[in-house]
Amino acid sequence: MDDRRDAEMNPPLAAAAAEDPARVARNDPAPVPSHTSTLEDSAMDLSPEELRWTEAVKHSALEDTSLKPLSDYEYAAAALVTQGHVETALCSLQGLQDFREEYNIHETVEEGMTLLRQLHIQQPWFVLDVSLELEESRHFVCVYDYAQLNPSAVKMPDQWRVFLGGLYYLYQMIQSDLQAVREGVVNIGECDGMSWSNFSVDMVRTLWHHLMEFYPLKTKEVSWLHASVIGNLQHSLYKSIMGDRAANIRIGVTFEGYEGRLDNIFKVPTEEQALQRLMDRYQLYLTNRYHHQRCYRLPSKVPSLSIDEILAIEAREGGVDEEDEETFSEYEEEEYLVEEEYVALDADSIAFAAEGENKEN
């Protein structure tokens, strides 16, 4: 199942791969992004439809006595990833609540940095790089070296807490604002050098059933480079356990113009400096994430929906016919206010509202 296609590389990776050897020797790796998002950024905006999804998820979660109250940011993230499917979002929130209780996760930047440092000690350079791309769609790119994965280092409960807790905080940081949540993450994996020592059914199964199955994370693209026999087996294992979530993994990908291992791009100019750069990024992204999680608030009233937006929603939910569309043709510029407690619109309600406004005029 070797899909040897040239992949479109993300800008920093493409730039690094295209450099001559002198670039690697110089002390000028890609700098840590100085941009820190704020609540005023467009990266924290939700559309009227997305706000409607979020209100529905929040309303249902607060009515569920088994769920502890969460921040508006967490409800929004779950709503965005599940596209407003309330039942799926609630299952996700319950699974994450159970995970945090089982692994004693306290949701702080300080704890996150501690677990991420411990993860690096336990699995040295399994995570090669995490970066936020601002050029096109504001998404995160994570680069992994699967030949560095060491299942034998994860046997005892405290070791599982480091492994799963570290990855939990990694997932938290790559959802540091709502635009990043919406866009999803690009995952790039180096498979060159993988052996049986990197392969573990128990590790993948535990990672899936304890964390990944419930974590609301959109995957934009997954590319595995230099896939070997073990890489293909790992891919088959992922598909058997994760189902559709592993369907978009492209294995055997090559990058045009660069044939070397990815660690040669990121562990520069020295491993010590590369590690400090990685930790600085962790600190920045986690700080942004928990700033938004602490401070973001949904509006007291959801902004108006245009007629076109209402019709689009109703079409997806199964229900606007040609007669309804004709009813609305003369109201294309009008908007209807959606109250905070508002959960669903149906075509009859819309037609009734339009008829009432027509009588008033």
Residue 21 burial class via C-beta count within 10 angstroms: exposed 0-12, middle 13-18, buried 19 and up: exposed
Model pTM above 0.85: no
Which DSSP string do the residues of 243-275 spell out, in sequence order? GGGGTTEEEEEBBTTB-S-THHHHS-S-HHHHH
Q: What confidence score (pLDDT) does residue 349 get? A: 41
CA-only gyration radius of the chain, Å: 23
- In which band, very low, low, confident or very high, does the pLDDT at 215 lie, cut at 50, 70 and 90? very high
Q: Mean pLDDT throughout 184-209?
A: 96
Domain edges within the chain: 11-21+110-284, 302-360
Reading the block at residue 216, the tokens are 């609301």
- In which band, very low, low, confident or very high, does the pLDDT at 302 lie, cut at 50, 70 and 90? low
* Residue 167: C-alpha distances to residues 61, 253, 337 (Å): 25, 24, 41
Q: What confidence score (pLDDT) does residue 204 get? A: 95
Q: What confidence score (pLDDT) does residue 291 get? A: 97
Higher pLDDT, 163 or 304: 163
Residue 305 has pLDDT above 70, yes or no: no
Rounded distance between C-alpha atoms, residue 265 and residue 230, angstroms: 23
Residue 127 has pLDDT above 70, yes or no: yes
Residue 230 has pLDDT above 80, yes or no: yes
Most confident of 27-36, 57-66, 241-250, 316-325: 57-66
Q: What confidence score (pLDDT) does residue 247 get? A: 78
Residue indicated by tokens 């704890």: 111
Say whether the peptide bond before residue 69 is cis (omega within 30 degrees of 0): no
Residue 153 has pLDDT above 70, yes or no: yes
Higher pLDDT, 332 or 109: 109
Indicate the CATH number for domain 11-21+110-284.
3.40.525.10
